[in-house]
Structure 1
Amino acid sequence: MGTFERYLSLWVALAMFVGIGLGLLAPTAAELVASLEIARVNVVVAVLIWLMIFPMMLKVEPGCLREVGRQPKGLLLTIGINWLIKPFTMAALGMLCFRVLFADLVPEAAAEQYIAGMILLGVAPCTAMVFVWSNLSGGDANYTLVQVSINDLIMVFAFAPIAGLLLGVTDLVVPWGTLLASVLIFVVIPLAAGVATRSWLARRGPDGPAAIQALAGKLKPTSILGLLLTVVLLFALQAQTIVAEPVRVALIAVPLLIQSYSIFALGYGVAKLLRLPYEVAAPAAMIGTSNFFELAVAVAISLFGLTSGAALATVVGVLIEVPVMLSLVWFANRTTHWFPKS
C-alpha cells in the first residue's frame, strides 16, 4: 500500500467534514445534485460508484463463474445471514434501543418510525458498494459477483414479505423501478464494461494478462478518489439533517453500529469455522454488513414520507456505512492468516 492508501481512514474523515461544510455553505447546489435521479438512484452517486466498481469487474472471468458452484458454503453462509438472521436482529435491536434504552429520549411516534427505517435497512443486503469492499479486501471477484447476484434474486421475492411482516404492513409495495434500475446500473452495466475491456485486452496474446493488471493498477487511484468523492457527496446531501438533529442521528447510529459489527463478526466467525478461503470469507461477511440503501430509502419515503423518522433512519444508515465498512476492510486485511489459502 502506498502512503495515500495507508491513511485512507483520515482522508475519509476529512471528506465527511468537507461534505458537511459544502452542504451548509451551498445547500442549493446540494439540492440540485440530489434531484438528479433515475428511479430514485442518484446519477452522480452512480457514476462515482462505477469508478469504484470497474477495477473489480476487470477481475471477473466469465469462464470461471461456473467454478463458484463447486464451493457452495460461502453462498449458503451469505444467504443464511442475509435472510434468516439479519432482518430479525435489526428489528430486535431497534426495538430494544427505542422502546427500552432510549424510550425517555425520543417521542414514541418518532421511535416507531426509526425502528421502521432500521428494519428496511436490515431487509436490504448490498448490491453496489460490496464490490468496492470486496476489492479493497482482496475478495474473489467471481465469487462476489455470484453472491451479490443470488442475493438480488432472493430480494425480488423475499424483500416485501419479510419487510411487511416486521413492519406489520400487509400492502407494502416494492419500488420495482428502484430495485431493477439499481441492479442494472450497479451490476449489469459495470460487469458488461469490465468483461468487454478484459476480453479486448486479452486479445493481445501473451501480453494480455499483464495489460489487464496494468490497467487495474492505474485505475486504483481513480477508485479511491471515487470513494472519497462519494463520501463528500453523501454528507453534503445530508448536512442539514446532521446539523439540525445531531442527537437523533447519534441515537439512530447506535443500534446500526451494533448490528453492523455483530453481523460481520457472525459471518466472519462462521466462515472461519467452515474453513472457507479468505477470498470467499471476506465478501461473504461484508455483503450482510453492507446495505442496499437506495432501496431502503425509497421504500421509507414511499411508506412514511420524505421528512419521516423512517427516512431519517435509512439516511443515517447511508452515513455510517463507509466509515464502518472501511474499518472492517482494515480488520479483514489484517486477519487473512485466519483462513486457509485459496
Structure 2
Amino acid sequence: MGVFERFLSAWVALAIIAGTALGSLFPSAFEWLSAFEFAQVNLIIAVLIWLMIYPVMVQVNFAAITQIAKEPKGLILTVVINWLVKPFTMALVGWLFFKGIFADFIEPETANEYLAGVILLGVAPCTAMVFIWSQLTKGDANYTLVQVSVNDIIMIFAFAPIAALLLGVTDIIVPWQTLLLSVGLYVIAPLIAGFITRRYITRSNSDSDNDNNKALTNFDQTMKPWSIVGLLLTVVLLFGFQAEVLLTRPLDIAMIATPLLVQTYGIFAITFIIALLIKLPYRIAAPACLIGTSNFFELAVAVAISLFGLQSGAALATVVGVLVEVPVMLSLVWFANKTKHWFASS
C-alpha cells in the first residue's frame, strides 16, 4: 500500500479544511467553478470522478461477468437493502430526529423540508463513487459493475413511486437529464474507455495470462495516485462550494448530519451482518455493504430543488448528504478492510 492510501483519511481531512478555507476566502472563484453545471451535475467534479472510476473499469473482465449468475446472493442482498430496506429506514430515522429529538429546535415547516431531503437521499442509491469504495476494499470489479447497473435499472422504475409514497406527494418528476447524464458519465463512458484500454493493454502483450495480469496490475498502480488526487480535489471542491453554509449554519448542518450518520452506519451494520450470515466472500460482501450506504446525490439534489426550491431545507439536506459521504464512507472502507478476515476469501 502506497503512502497516499496509507494516510488517505488524513489527506481527506486536510482537503476538507482546505476546501472550506478556500471557499470562504475566495467565494467568487468557487461560484465561477460551480457554474460549470448541467442538469445538476457539476462538470468539473464529473471529470474528477471519471478520473477515479476509469482505472476501475479497466479491471473489469467482460468474459468473467457471466460467472456472476453462479453467485446471486450478493446481488440479491444489494437489491433488497437498497429498495426494500434503506428508503424506509431513512424515513423512520429522519422522522425520529426531525419530528422528535430536534422538534424544539426546528420550525415545523423546516423540519418537514429536512425530512424530505434525507428521504430523497435514502431513495437514491449511488452510481459513481461506489466504484471507488469497491476499489479501496479490493472488491470484485465485475460484480460491483453488475450491482450498480442493476440498481440503475431499478431506479428508473422505482425511484419516483417510492419517493412519492414516503414524501406523501403525487407529483414527483424524475429529472431524466440528471439520471441519464450521470449514468452515461459515471458508468457507460468509463466502461467503454476501460474496455478499449484493457483490449489495448492485453493485445500489446503476449497471450500469456500472467503477462496480461502483470500489465493490468502495472497500469492500475500507475493510475492509482491519480485516482486519489481526483478524490481529494473532489472533496476540496465540494466543501469549497458549501463553505458559506458550513460556516454560517453549523447547527443546521449538525442536525441534518446526525440522522444521516445514524442511517449510514445502521444500514452498513445490517448489510454487514447479513453478508456474514449468508457467508458471502469478502470480494462481494465489501462492495455490497458499501453500495447500500452511499447515495446518488446529484439525483437527490435535483429532485429537492424541483420540488422545494434552491434555498429550501430539503435542498440543504441533500447538500449535507454530499458533504458527509466521503469521510463517512472512508471510515466504513477502513472497517471493512480491518474485518476482511471475518469473511470467506473465495
**1:265 maps to what in 2?**
269
CA contact (8 A) 2:94 2:118 kept: yes
Q: How does 1:238-257 map to 2 (within 5 A)?
A: 238-257=242-261
Aligned counterparts, 1:57-72, within 5 A: 57-72=57-72
Q: Do structure 1's residue 214 and structure 2's residue 206 form an aligned pair?
A: no
Which amino acid is the alignment partner of residue 286 of structure 1?
Answer: L
How many angstroms does 1:26 deviate by?
A: 1.1
State the AA in 2 paired with 1:147: Q
Per-residue deviation at 1:208?
2.9
Secondary structure of the residue that 1:276 maps to in structure 2?
A: coil
- 2: distance between equivalents of 1:99 and 1:211? 56
- Normalising by the residue count of structure 2, what TM-score does the alignment of the two structures yield? 0.98
Aligned pair count reads: 342
Aligned equivalent of 2:76? 76
State how far apart, in whole Å, the 2-side matches of 1:175 and 1:5 are.
Answer: 36
1:298 aligns with 2:298: no
Provide the residue aligned with 1:237 in structure 2: 241
1:224 to 228, 235, 250: 228
* Cα displacement (A) at 1:50: 1.1
Offset of 1:31 from its aligned partner? 1.0
Is residue 274 of structure 1 aligned with residue 278 of structure 2?
Answer: yes
Deviation at 1:108, TM superposition (A): 0.8
Tell me, yes or no, if structure 1 residue 338 matches structure 2 residue 332. Answer: no
Deviates more, 1:112-121 or 1:51-60: 51-60
Q: Please report how far the alpha carbon of residue 2 of structure 1 lies from its aligned counterpart in structure 2 after TM superposition.
A: 2.5
2:19 aligned with 1:19: yes
Compute the displacement of 1:127 (Å). Answer: 0.2
Residue identity in the other structure for 2:71: Q
**Which moved further from structure 2: 125-134 or 3-12?**
3-12
Give matches, 1:80-119, under 5 Å.
80-119=80-119
Quote the Cα distance in structure 1 between the aligned partners of 2:150 and 2:75. 8
What is the 5 A alignment of 1:184-195? 184-195=184-195
Determine helix, strand or coil for the equivalent of 1:289.
coil
The alpha-carbon deviation at position 4 of structure 1 amounts to 3.1
For the residues of structure 1 that align with 2:3 and 2:198, how far apart are their CA atoms?
A: 29
Counterpart AA for 2:160: A
Amino acid at match of 1:268: F
Between the aligned partners of 1:83 and 1:4, the Cα distance in structure 2 is 35
Question: Counterpart of 2:258 in structure 1: which amino acid?
Answer: V
How much does 1:29 deviate?
Answer: 1.2
3-state SS, counterpart of residue 263 of structure 1: helix
The answer (yes or no) to whether the contact 2:48–2:231 under 8 Å persists in 1 is yes
Structure 2 spans left out of the alignment, 5+ residues: none
In the alignment, does 2:155 pair up with 1:155?
yes
Task: Output the CA distance in 2 between the equivalents of 1:235 and 1:63.
Answer: 40
Query: What corresponds to 1:130 in structure 2?
Result: 130
SS of the residue 2:105 aligns to = coil
Deviation at 1:124, TM superposition (A): 0.2
Provide Cα deviations, 1:31-60, integer angstroms capped at 9, x if missing partner.
111111122211111111011111211110
Percent of aligned pairs with the same amino acid: 61
Structure 1 unaligned spans of 5+ = none
Cα distance in 1, alignment partners of residues 87 and 328 from structure 2: 19
